[in-house]
Amino acid sequence: GAVVSQHPSRVICKSGTSVKIECRSLDFQATTMFWYRQFPKQSLMLMATSNEGSKATYEQGVEKDKFLINHASLTLSTLTVTSAHPEDSSFYICSAEDAAANYGYTFGSGTRLTVV
């Protein structure tokens, strides 16, 4: 089945620094990937839709300049949290759609970001 690899699984960074999270589709090509944020005991909140070769589409209220998304190839999307602050600490999850599976959305294992 479709596999999405997300790295790193955990990261601790100092306030003011930037952190990059990678999301790779291992056995399929994904023209579209999605980035979510999840707070403890809450549902997934869609942050942005990442489109290969074009700009990401951000959801209302998500700061484009803080959460930079790059989808440089059909198998890789990256999310960079710039100038991170403690309030950016959260669980970030990516997902990709395997078009061949006809609506198959596969999720990565998530990245726990802690900003100190």
d(CA 64, CA 1): 32
Nearer to another protein, 17 or 27 (CB): 27
d(CA 27, CA 63): 31
d(CA 109, CA 8): 9
Q: How many CB atoms lie within 10 A of CB 70?
A: 14
**Interaction between residue 110 and another protein (CB under 8 A):** yes
> Mask 38-77, x = binds another protein (CB under 8 A)?
---xxxx-x--x----------------------------
Assess contact for 77 and 71: CB atoms under 8 A: yes
**Interaction between residue 106 and another protein (CB under 8 A):** yes
**Interaction between residue 7 and another protein (CB under 8 A):** no
As given in the structure block, the two tokens for residue 108 are 């990565």
d(CA 66, CA 79): 10
Assess contact for 90 and 37: CB atoms under 8 A: yes
| Min CB(82)–another protein separation in Å | 23
Stretch that binds another protein, among 11-19, 61-69, 75-83, 90-98 (CB under 8 A): 90-98
Within residues 23-42, the interface with another protein by CB under 8 A covers 32, 34, 41-42
- Which parts of this chain interact with another protein (CB under 8 A)? 4, 6, 32, 34, 41-44, 46, 49, 91, 93, 95, 97, 103-110, 112
